[in-house]
Structure 1
């Protein structure tokens, strides 16, 4: 498997020289500074790729080439947006960058309610607290329908929280929910988020799937022509939030994605953390189910609570059997080697580490520390070596 590391370019305080010391061989990056829907110019791609190469790495995966909200909503004449996306793909392919990770989550990317929840020993992690998310939806956004989206005891606790917290606490919660990914995308205040949500009125699961299928119909033929592989990232969290449907949350959803445009280049980013946050998901079993279409992997772990809350665990300590999952991925690689496939090795990266030790002294991107991910990579590297040795 190809050990890789997510790097945010000029938005990242972690340098490529530091990444080199982790032992990773590949870089996962994107042009986060470019607003959604704009073409990634050949010049900008070459500049980024040259920096990656000069540091001794290969740019192995684009994460991500984002999809404009108009495409997700199916709004208006989308000809220009699809053309821009295809041109960006062509410019990437010309530089030999052939794997694109993307998501189809409406409006928000990954969502958490606490970016620095304490864990044992003084480290911190990303956490999704169901009570706080319910309070955000019901009492800050004023979305009364959200009372039906959470268990009754969570709704009761959310009301108590909303009555007893300060404006600073509310602002911190809004900041966490809006954290998403760094780069040129919209962050909202409460009024702005309410307005953005209204633009999704009438878009249910069926409509969102139809818009996603249109995206695949427009993009996958170009990927085939360019020799590229597209791999959708599962929803994070894998449940509807803010009244918006999520359609890439479990094994059945992944089956639908792969069948919506049945092509080897239409694939999956196997994110063990996103899928693992759904109690109904058996992540190693889902991985085995879609293994031949896994083009990229995010390896991380989560620990779940009965009320729907979850937090990032250490890579080998959460609810997902990481050893079993790695066995599935290595078995798939062996099959690909035997079949003579060009994509024999699966790139993976350690995802969402704990902020620990000297990470606390730096203003690092939430979920993307240096020491915490180094720990995760070392643990995953050890599991891979043991499984390959037959242990």
Structure 2
């Protein structure tokens, strides 16, 4: 398991590379050009700036999250081919600086949805929160206004240029069924996977967050069965999944431990985080400790160890603790604590193996 840490870049993150370097076992950053509109080819000079910054601290930048997919590709419009060509060119450029994995998603309009960014937990910390009844009854424009007004940083999936087109986007998606979205995803993969194969890059789709349809929009990567179908669309080692325990874990029916075992070899990237799911469908993000949430984090890490996982892993969203001013879900302190919890489980497995051989 190769531990990495998401970093949003100088001037767009409260966490510094110097701090990341000091977290035990972290060897690289998970990065992206967050100021680039979806569908645009990434410029080489900006890519090299990130490489120079990471190199200065001895951190690699082998994982990119996200090269966002333009909505025209998801909608299956004739204009998609130009955006797919830009995507291929970006893949080629990223390979030249050592990128090995690209995390992306195929969620219509919204990459993720929460109703509160700083919901208080019993211990006084705050975390990202999803209130199902609000989403079920709320106009999407109301949610956009609420979230956008709380953001001091760029947030993937909530880019201003995308949100300005909310009404026409929803109108376009009225004609798109879940099966249409599957066909459009297959077309996209058939186009880009050969490029990824030539350059030794694994594409790793992120599951839907939350893992069910919202606002009448189709969502298709949300279960063991859907991941199985995804991997069969283009049967290549370069067509993989970012197995996110938090996104999938919002549905307690998802057996993530079983997924780790079944999809061994097709998980280049693991997002590991915990959520506490309530009977009414609400959920809140918690510490990584298994007993604090609904997701068996310890069991998931054990499964990765048992399957010989050598991919990348990062602690996903953390709480906001110790009065840290930070990007929602992406403070330093709780994610660093999360890493130590993950290493603790991992090291205990390794120690157990050594004891058996002795």
TM-score, structure 1 as length reference: 0.84
Shift of 1:206: 0.5
Q: Which of these residues, 180, 189, 209, is aligned with residue 236 of structure 1?
A: 209
Q: Which of these residues, 322, 326, 330, is aligned with residue 297 of structure 2?
A: 322
1:125 is paired with a residue of what secondary structure?
Answer: strand
1:40 is paired with a residue of what secondary structure?
Answer: coil
- Larger % of helix: which? 1
Matched, 1:385 2:358: no
Matched, 1:354 2:319: yes
Q: How does 1:128-139 map to 2 (within 5 A)?
A: 128-137=130-139
Shift of 1:34: 1.1
Which region of structure 1 is more displaced relative to structure 2, 28-37 or 73-82?
73-82
Deviations 1:136-181 (A, max 9, x none): 14xx76xxxxxxxxxxxxxxxxxxxxxxxxx9x9953675799852
What's 1:17 paired with? Answer: 18
RMSD of aligned alpha carbons: 2.2
Deviations 1:287-325 (A, max 9, x none): 211122000000001111111111102112211111211
State the distance in 1 between where 2:350 and 2:78 align: 51
State the distance in 1 between where 2:75 and 2:66 align: 19
Matched, 1:373 2:335: yes
Structure 1: give runs of 5+ residues left out of the alignment: 142-166, 334-343
State the distance in 2 between where 1:28 and 1:274 align: 18
118 and 28 in structure 1: CA distance in 2 versus 1, 3 angstrom threshold? same
What's 2:187 paired with? Answer: 214
**Contact 1:59–1:97 at 8 Å: present in 2 too?**
yes
Matched, 1:248 2:248: no
174 and 182 in structure 1: CA distance in 2 versus 1, 3 angstrom threshold? closer
Shift of 1:54: 0.7
State the distance in 2 between where 1:346 and 1:264 align: 13
2:127 is paired with a residue of what secondary structure?
Answer: strand
What's 1:269 paired with? Answer: 242
State the distance in 1 between where 2:145 and 2:240 align: 38
**Contact 2:317–2:335 at 8 Å: present in 1 too?**
yes
State the distance in 2 between where 1:270 and 1:171 align: 30
Deviations 1:344-388 (A, max 9, x none): 6211001110000041xx2x2111011111111111111111111
Shift of 1:19: 1.2
What's 2:7 paired with? Answer: 7
218 and 100 in structure 1: CA distance in 2 versus 1, 3 angstrom threshold? same
Shift of 1:261: 0.3
State the distance in 2 between where 1:73 and 1:171 align: 24
